[in-house]
Structure 1
Amino acid sequence: MIFNYFKIAWRGLRNNTIFSVINITGLAAGAGVVMLIGMWIYDELHFNRYHKNYEHIAQVMRHSTSNDEISTRESMPIPLRDALGNKYQDEFKHIVLATPVADHILAFADQKFTVKGRFMEPATPEMLSFEMLRGSSAGLKNLSSIMLSESLSKTLFSDRDPVGKTLMIDNKMEAIVTGVYKDLPYNSRFRDLAFVAPWQLHLSNNESAQKAQQNWGRNSFEIYVEIAGNAQIASINDKIRNIVRDHTDPKLAEMRKPEVFLYPMSRWHLHSEWKNGVNVGGRIQFVWFFGTIAGFVLLLACINFMNLSTARSEKRAKEVGIRKVVGSARSQLMKQFFSESILLATIGFVFALILVEFTLPFFNELADKRMSLMWSEPWFWITGLGFTLFTGLIAGSYPALYLSSFRPIKVLRGTVHLGRFAATPRKALVILQFTVSTSLIIGTMVVHNQIQFAKDRPVGYNRDGLLIIPMSTPETHKHYESIRSELLETGVVIDVAASQNPTTEVWDTRNGFIWSGDDSNRETRFATMAVTHEYGKTVGWKFSAGRDFSKDFSTDLSTSLVLNAAAAKEMGFENPIGQSVWWGGGGDELKIIGVIDDMLMTSPYDPVEPTIFYLNYDNANFINVKIDPAAGAHDALARIGNVFKKYNPSAPFDYKFAEQEYALKFAGEERIGKLTNVFTALAIFISCLGIFGLASFIAEQRTREIGIRKILGASVFSLWKLLSRDFVWLVLISCLIAIPVSNYLLGQWLLKYQYRTEMGWWIFAIASAGALTITLLTVSFQAIKAAVVHPARSLKVE
């Protein structure tokens, strides 16, 4: 019996080609979108789950108060690690002190590569579930050791066994390879960990880390823990909350209110945003957002099926009547209609699999993922088939319930006006379709405007032709002045300067500043940046008051500061030039010599941080090179590279353009925007398929009417208006619903950005006009096609 249902359903699909193609295409597109979004959501929800101790791993973080606001940071002081281990050793299985992930130069023989790595304590491989391919996971217990990822090992040694080989790290640390671990998956925070070296190796070769060993105020490192099996993070947090406060000067502790806590790995990825000490979400918002889009896209495809099925009801009415007369029960008819919808959903699912397989590489690149269809996983097929059955039941529910309810006597007598009965629910579903589509159009426009608004924000310096080159080896520090001189002699460089951090980042923020006239009882945090004399000229910062650092003033090197406008405002100076500042609550008196326009160095969506610039050649970590605009980039880079190779032959010439680094700040929002564009386009496509199908059936139903109207003198334009009018009204109603809904939801989304665009009326007008235009273009094809048919052909059946 069931086979017969599907056999009849297949025969019906073949006999109604347009209906079948439209529905299968819509269901395939809808299922494909749901599948892609489902895979994306699955990947997001399973981020970091590769690590076997996922539920027990946490990062030590801290809240602290500055500028009347609670900030949340990952950077920790070194002595906190031992304090946790000594006082609360029963609570932890592992405690790992680590440097932040950074670029380092690895050299073996004549091979040199810049790769990302960390210096971490010996418990790292066990805590992070390293899968060792060669060597031992205990290798980090050796001071002069290093562990390589599988891909880095192949790059350096091909298929040879690297264990026992000696590498050079940053031209100053020798390390023996003690193990090779399998590359960590792309959906892990530690995915770019190309190597791990012992923390003690970093400590023994880094003077700054040595000085910070007993300094509770130097927050430059990261601490990860694995809690003991019977411990609870909440109870541990109660115990360790004041551990930093207890080691801070009471007066400072009262102002800063430092609070230490463990943040579980399960929340790192999706709940990473903090505001005033409260977790306000993160990527979890996009999980809900795309999940909602997936649901609506599937709903649009199901609506198409329902609408087209009910539109065809007049053709199938006699079929239903005859079936009932010969003894078919309503339940049997419902099974027949459900069989048709499930068959369509199954065919759509097959095409969706093909569609996803071909588009997945593009989607992975767009979404920054490494996903693949899990053909061999039973749960994938169970989920897929369950999804297909669910879609078929949803899509076929209304037709099955509606068509099977026809009374045979009225149907066979022709007294049932089926089209009118079906018109209202069809119209409601069309309104729902275009409400969703119009809302998505508005959403894509607002996301684009927000990104463009931030891109157009003044940055306070000139990024064009600005190179950022890390001083990653002792040679670059030692020969800085010679490198600078020879770069200027190349003829392709305007100026050169060194700085503590890139122009696109802030690495160091400090408390403890006192300035003349400061009578507040709060402590203010300032970003601080060490630079060399020529930095301002190199990056092109602009002065609103005072002057730049100059070698003509010997005191500049030890007592002068340059502030950005935000810092001058924070200090409350009407005329900041010549005012005194004391760093650290005492020490030498420093003088403000200049105020520059705000340089945008952090998020383009947030206010500029109050920043203090000072001269310090020892803290320089990057060389900034301004290329002459008249020089060709290829020739300029070759000449600049030759200078670095001369003074630093053992390291690769590694550089980045400030323009490219700044562009990366928009990568997350742009990626979400592009994904939204794709899904919006597919949603509109599915809606247009439904409109196209409905228009074709309505045109077919009104064939005789159109013929008569043409005989009476109706023009093609008037007939086009007649057939398009109903759809236009439906779209206008959907726009009236979509506008307030979108305005509220997108307004809430924009609140997460302090520097944000406004939603002007023109956005809603353009989106509505776009939806209306798309509808008219879709309907016009069928409307004009029906209107130009010769009336003799329309009336020949009479």
Structure 2
Amino acid sequence: MFKNYLKIAWRNLKRNKGYSTINIGGLALGMAVVIMIGLWVEDELTHNSYFKNKDKIAQVFQSQTFNGQVGTGPAIPRPLEKALRDGYADNFEHLMMASWTNDMYLKFGETSISRPGNYMQHMAPELLNLNVIKGDRDGLREVNSIMLSASTADALFGKEDPIGKTVRVANQYDLMVTSVYTDIPFNNTFHDTEYIIPWEQYVASREWIQNAEDNWGNNSFQMFVQIADNTTIDRVTATIRNVKKELNEDTAEFDPQLFLLPMEDWHLRSNFVNGKQTGGRIKYVWLFGIIGAFVLLLACINFMNLSTARSERRAKEVGIRKTIGSGKGQLIYQFMGESFLVVLLAYALALAIVLLFLNGFNELARKEIVFPYENWIFWAISIVLIVCTSLLAGSYPALYLSSFRPADVLKGTFQAGSYSGLPRKILVVLQFTVSVAFIIGTVIVMQQINHAKNRPVGYDKEGLVQIPTFSKDFSGKTDLMREQFLKSGAVVEMSTSSSPTTQIWSNRSGYTWEGKPEGFQEDLAWTEVSPEYAKSLNLKIIEGRDFSREFASDSLAVLINETAKTYLGVTDPVGMLLRDDDEEDPGPPLKIIGVVEDMVAQSPYEPVKQAMYVYDRNDNFSYYNLRLNPARSASENLAVVEQVFKEHFPAIPFDYQFVDEEYGEKFASEERIGSLAAIFTALAIFISCLGLFGLTSFVAERRTKEIGVRKVLGASVLNIWNMLSKDFLKLVIISCFIAIPVAYYVMNGWLQEYPYRVILKWWIFALAVFGAIAITLLTVSFQALKAARQNPVNSLRTE
């Protein structure tokens, strides 16, 4: 019986090729979108699934209160390690201190490379579940050791066995390779950890870390933990919450609250506002999940509309079948069989589309998704998708067609009824409501991105290059290198800084000044710079003056930004002294000599943070900032810069970053989301238009004789076009009126997450309405004009 149903279904599809193409093509696109989105969502939800103890791993976070505003982040003080090991060890299986991920110069023989990695304590391989393929898994217990990822080992040693070989790190000290581990997968927080050096080496090689051993105010470190099997993350959080406040009086005023952020939240729920967890990328998971469901719904609506619209053609077939004994249930199975066949063919086509475009999708989404050929869960979900889509798309047509009365059909008295087209009209309205809402949402997302992109950044990004200087080889050579770079003609100015231009690496507090409000808790971004910093960045001095090498007193000078001036609550900050309130070692006061224009160094969607730029008198820099010669091409300038660099640092690889590209990375995530949303919106509109095209074609075909009579009686092509188009146009206009308030409510709520945001303008909604109407007219007009231009003699001869 089932085989017979499929045969009849196949014959119907072959007989109505246009109808079949629209149905199968629309469903295939909808299902391809669902599969793509499903793979993307699965990749997001399985982030960090590489770790076998994922449910037990967490990172220590802390919240601190400054003037009533709570800030939250993963930076913690070094003394916390000893406090947790001494008093709370039973709560943890592993407790690991770690540095921030940074690029480091690694050299073996004549090969010198730069790779990102971390300093970590010896339990790192166990906590991170590293797959050690060569050497000793416990190799980090040796202070002068280093673990390398397989790709880094290959880059340094080629086919040689790296175990026991010596690597020169930062051209400063030699470490022996004790282990090689499989590269950590891309879909992982630690995927860019390509080397691991013992934490003890980090401490031994840096005096400031040694001095931080008892300093609770220096939050410059990370801590990862694996909790014990007999407890939970929430229970441990409750136990350690007030440890810092209880053990250190100096920081108690900031009400530090410690907590553990579970690994499962690192990627999807890492945003905090005023101390409260507010989500993160999980909102995009929900967004694309909803988009996928709606796109599939639009494709199913096409099937339902076209199936019910052709009801009059199938009426005699139903009548005859019922007369010779077919029951309603058998007819329902028949039409559901047709639906199943269409969906099955559409799914096969959808898989082909996914395989064809998966690489491009990965590039756009910055993913490394592999098609899950061997994943039985994927195929099980696919079967569920096929069945559910078949039921969704075919249930209404099956019930509708099987309900015809055979007597009325065979007598020729069957009429579809004045309200028979109402469900189709409702579905068309639903289709275009979703499409118009998608259009509005996509335009607003793109506007928000462009709004932040066009925000004045306070300095000139173009032609600005930064070179990392993570080696002691650079110490004491700043003036020499500046002289050589300027002499080369490729650089018009050079400076140094302790942080990259596009980030803030350090914050300071504990200062007093004249007029400071009682109880005020300051929090200032801190960057140490050479005197030419403002000149190299083209920072505008709006009050006072810039640093000058001619004034010896400038070694204790500081520049502040406009926001800091407001933050400090002073009208004339030039000449004001900032004193360290440390009673034991206050140090000399810093004198404010100037105010610079606000510079966007963190998120372009957030307000500029109050910042101070301090004269670097101890060679405490991490970057050269080079302003390239605008009279030459960038490639020509960089070739000269590299030559000068190699003359003085032959053992260090030449690595550089364009500041405008680094700044552009701040928009990368939103731009990827916006691009994906735009593509899915375009597909949703295309699927809706596909259905509209099919319906128009059917209506024009059904009214062939009417169009012929009207033309004989003098109707023009415009009259016929208007007759066939106006009904669909009305439906789309109704869709717009429904979509606008819905889209406004959703997108306005989304924009509230951004302090620096675009204002919703009326023209955005007008543009969406105009676009929807234009698309509808283009879609409908092809069939309408085709029908209107037919010879009426041919139309009337059909009798």
TM exceeding 0.5: yes
Matched residues in 2 for 1:274 and 1:781: separation? Answer: 52
CA contact (8 A) 1:311 1:422 kept: no
Matched residues in 1 for 2:101 and 2:513: separation? Answer: 35
Count residues with an aligned counterpart. Answer: 795
Q: Deviations over 1:176-224 (max 9, x none)?
A: 1111111111111001111111111111112221221221111111000
Q: Deviations over 1:414-472 (max 9, x none)?
A: 22322644310000000000000000100110011101111111111111111111112
Pick the aligned partner of 2:345 from 347, 368, 372.
347
- Counterpart residue number, 2:42: 42
Q: Deviations over 1:692-724 (max 9, x none)?
A: 000000000010111111111111111111111
Task: Write out aligned runs for 1:236-315 (5 A).
Answer: 236-250=236-250, 252-254=251-253, 256-315=254-313
- Counterpart residue number, 2:119: 119
Pick the aligned partner of 1:563 from 534, 553, 560.
560
- Counterpart residue number, 1:494: 492
Task: Write out aligned runs for 1:180-219 (5 A).
Answer: 180-219=180-219
Matched residues in 1 for 2:607 and 2:761: separation? Answer: 23
Task: Write out aligned runs for 1:326-475 (5 A).
Answer: 326-418=324-416, 420-475=418-473
Task: Write out aligned runs for 1:148-167 (5 A).
Answer: 148-167=148-167
Structure 1 letter corresponding to 2:796: L
Structure 1's 203 and 340: CA in aligned 2 closer, same or farther, altered over 3 A? Answer: same
Matched residues in 2 for 1:519 and 1:142: separation? Answer: 51
Matched residues in 2 for 1:388 and 1:173: separation? Answer: 61
Structure 2 letter corresponding to 1:76: I
- Counterpart residue number, 2:577: 580
- Counterpart residue number, 2:80: 80
> CA offset at residue 3 of structure 1?
0.8
Q: Deviations over 1:568-604 (max 9, x none)?
A: 0011111111122213455433221111110111000
> CA offset at residue 378 of structure 1?
1.7
Matched residues in 2 for 1:632 and 1:45: separation? Answer: 45
443-452 or 507-516: which moved more? 507-516
587-596 or 566-575: which moved more? 587-596
1:720 aligned onto 2:714: no
1:651 aligned onto 2:649: no
Matched residues in 1 for 2:10 and 2:569: separation? Answer: 79
CA contact (8 A) 1:27 1:348 kept: yes
- Counterpart residue number, 2:637: 636
Matched residues in 2 for 1:442 and 1:607: separation? Answer: 26
Matched residues in 2 for 1:418 and 1:478: separation? Answer: 90
Structure 1's 418 and 160: CA in aligned 2 closer, same or farther, altered over 3 A? Answer: farther
- Counterpart residue number, 1:790: 791
- Counterpart residue number, 1:671: 672
Structure 1 letter corresponding to 2:324: V
Matched residues in 1 for 2:707 and 2:331: separation? Answer: 34
1:736 aligned onto 2:737: yes
Matched residues in 1 for 2:475 and 2:637: separation? Answer: 22
Structure 2 letter corresponding to 1:654: D
Matched residues in 2 for 1:421 and 1:743: separation? Answer: 32
Structure 2 letter corresponding to 1:566: T
Unpaired stretches in structure 1, ≥5 consecutive residues: none
Matched residues in 2 for 1:415 and 1:567: separation? Answer: 84
573-582 or 274-283: which moved more? 573-582
Structure 2 letter corresponding to 1:710: K
1:547 aligned onto 2:545: yes
214-223 or 56-65: which moved more? 214-223
Q: Deviations over 1:301-355 (max 9, x none)?
A: 0000000000110100111111111100000000011111111011000001100
Identity %: 47
Matched residues in 1 for 2:278 and 2:377: separation? Answer: 33
1:102 aligned onto 2:102: yes
Matched residues in 2 for 1:67 and 1:754: separation? Answer: 19
Secondary structure, aligned partner of 1:225: strand
Structure 1 letter corresponding to 2:132: M
694-703 or 204-213: which moved more? 204-213
Q: What TM-score, normalized by structure 1, do the two folds share? A: 0.98
Structure 1 letter corresponding to 2:746: L
Matched residues in 1 for 2:519 and 2:78: separation? Answer: 29
- Counterpart residue number, 2:754: 753
Secondary structure, aligned partner of 1:179: strand
Structure 1's 547 and 556: CA in aligned 2 closer, same or farther, altered over 3 A? Answer: same
Secondary structure, aligned partner of 2:475: helix
Structure 2 letter corresponding to 1:630: A
CA contact (8 A) 1:475 1:647 kept: no
> CA offset at residue 68 of structure 1?
2.4
572-581 or 152-161: which moved more? 152-161
Structure 2 letter corresponding to 1:671: R
Q: What TM-score, normalized by structure 2, do the two folds share? A: 0.98
> CA offset at residue 10 of structure 1?
0.6
Aligned Cα RMSD in Å? Answer: 1.1
Structure 1 letter corresponding to 2:713: L
Matched residues in 2 for 1:86 and 1:737: separation? Answer: 62
- Counterpart residue number, 2:222: 222
Matched residues in 2 for 1:479 and 1:263: separation? Answer: 43
Q: Deviations over 1:230-275 (max 9, x none)?
A: 111122112211111123235x412x11111111101111101000
Structure 2 letter corresponding to 1:201: Q
Matched residues in 2 for 1:599 and 1:377: separation? Answer: 49
